[in-house]
Chain A
Amino acid sequence: MSELFQQIGGEAAVNLAVDNFYRRVLADDRICDFFDGVDMDKQAAKQKAFLTMVFGGPNNYTGKDMREGHAHLVARGLNDSHFDAVVENLGATLKDLGVADELIAQVAAIAETTRDDVLSR
């Protein structure tokens, strides 16, 4: 596993982060509507996979997955501001977990690499 993933705390950190992160996005008026109609257990599993990836952990995501997975949301108006909101929540979760700013910046950088795929650009 990557050094970043190890430093953040590996799978244990992901498990701690999932509920914190998922609760934040559901409570965030800017983006919660995009989660409507999605089964919560299924969504929690997706959040876990997403967090594993941005924490530098092992994952099976491809750019195509990100593109296809979000295409219907882009059609509903998903844009940069929503992407930014998610990254903001991600940072807040990591801060709650006591992760160092420098590591948070690295996680944000990984998240940033998915922006164009997520927004179908």
Chain B
Amino acid sequence: MDFLFEGSTIGYEPNETVLDALLRHGHDIPHRCKVGACQSCLMQSKGNPAPAAATAGLSDDLVEKGYFLACKADPGAIGESRLPAEPPFQVLRATVREHTMLTADVLLLRVELMEAVDWRCGQFVKLRVGDVERSYSIAELTDGTVVTLHIRLIPGGAMGESLRNGVVVGTELDVVGPFGSCVYRAASPEQPILMIASGTGLAPIYGILIEALERGHTGPIEIFHGGATLERLYFAEELKALAMSRPNVRYVPCVDDGPPDLARIASPLGAALEDHPRLGGWRVYVCGHPELVRHAKRKTYIAGADLSSIHADPFVDQSAA
């Protein structure tokens, strides 16, 4: 069995992905996570549009242009492919404008890009500080130039140490983007939306929520944010205020342990399904811990949400490269 890559015939084995096969033949295909999260292995197909498994997380725009993720692609379904002539993302210089700790380990970082972009909240960017690159979701985008990120600083982590100690207001760094399709769908303003997040998974959720409200979303929006304790649930006051001022917004803080009069003692997924056992017609956004995202995708689908209406953004461990 074989497929075409830039004019060459590449033999592949059963259960091998396009990336596996190309690497095995000695081709230098950019890649990192191998699970479809970092989007480094983006390739473009000629002819057949790629199957859903190989385009999950790519914006509709990219999918239409034949882009797919080599690490998730079945060579038999792709046919002819090549590395994109020009990467479908921008690399921009940016200056740090705000560096504020929201909790003991969550940093709010605001960077001003050197030029305006049309990226969207919920998509993610890659921050480059020195030779360390990490992906973070866009929580806010102001005037097309100021990007806000919520970053969990991992003790001992390469990026965590730089951000905690070396990066301050005025520091310059590179921002690469945009990636991903975890964004608000404006075509369905009355659709009920369920949002489930763990930790800094709130970042894309918050961005999508604000955009939904700005664009006049009238359907119910329910946000379930989970953290180990109340102290870990950053932005609780902001979300409570939003819920109070908007009749269609509901915010449910969830903790593993804490005062039951202040938060739900449950996982955000458990609480969400308890309150909404039937999700037919809902749009679901789930972001954060990969295990949570995996379970949530499965359980919300079983509860009736269409696969195409479930937008998952797993925050995979980026330290192994």
- Asked if B298 lies at the interface with its beta carbon under 8 angstroms from chain A, I say yes
Question: Ordered nearest first, which 6 A-B pairs have the shortest CB separation?
Answer: A42-B53, A41-B52, A41-B53, A39-B53, A27-B302, A23-B302
Known: A26-B298, A26-B302, A39-B53. Is A44-B72 also a contact (CB below 8 A)?
A: no
Interface size on A, residues (CB 8 A): 12
Q: Are A68 and B14 in contact (CB under 8 A)?
A: yes
- Chain A residues near B297 (CB, 8 Å)? 40
- Asked if B98 lies at the interface with its beta carbon under 8 angstroms from chain A, I say no
- Asked if B244 lies at the interface with its beta carbon under 8 angstroms from chain A, I say no
- Chain B residues near A68 (CB, 8 Å)? 14
- Asked if B306 lies at the interface with its beta carbon under 8 angstroms from chain A, I say yes
Q: Are B56 and A45 in contact (CB under 8 A)?
A: no
C-alpha spacing A45/B306, complex, angstroms: 14
- Asked if A19 lies at the interface with its beta carbon under 8 angstroms from chain B, I say yes
Q: Are B302 and A45 in contact (CB under 8 A)?
A: no
**Inter-chain residue pair count (beta carbon < 8 A):** 34
| A–B pairs, 5, beta carbons within 8 Å | A23-B304, A27-B302, A42-B53, A42-B72, A45-B53
Contact of A41 among B14, B304, B307 (CB under 8 A): B307
With both chains docked as a complex, state the minimum distance between the C-beta of B55 and any C-beta of chain A, in angstroms. Answer: 8
C-alpha spacing A22/B36, complex, angstroms: 22
Contact of B298 among A19, A40, A41, A42 (CB under 8 A): A40
- Asked if B251 lies at the interface with its beta carbon under 8 angstroms from chain A, I say no
Q: Are B302 and A41 in contact (CB under 8 A)?
A: no
Q: Are B302 and A39 in contact (CB under 8 A)?
A: no
Contact of B56 among A19, A26, A27, A39 (CB under 8 A): A39
- Chain A residues near B301 (CB, 8 Å)? 22-23, 26, 40
- Asked if B51 lies at the interface with its beta carbon under 8 angstroms from chain A, I say yes
- Chain B residues near A44 (CB, 8 Å)? 52, 307
Contact of B306 among A19, A26, A27, A39 (CB under 8 A): A19
For B297, give the chain A residue with the smallest CB separation.
Answer: A40
C-alpha spacing A19/B307, complex, angstroms: 9
- Chain B residues near A40 (CB, 8 Å)? 297-298, 301, 307
Known: A39-B56, A40-B307, A68-B14. Is A45-B51 also a contact (CB below 8 A)?
A: yes
Given A42-B51, A68-B14: 12 more A-B contacts, CB < 8 Å: A19-B306, A26-B302, A40-B298, A40-B301, A41-B51, A41-B56, A42-B52, A42-B72, A44-B52, A44-B307, A45-B52, A45-B53
C-alpha spacing A92/B50, complex, angstroms: 32
C-alpha spacing A42/B53, complex, angstroms: 5
For A32, give the chain B residue with the smallest CB separation.
Answer: B298
- Chain A residues near B304 (CB, 8 Å)? 23
C-alpha spacing A68/B298, complex, angstroms: 25
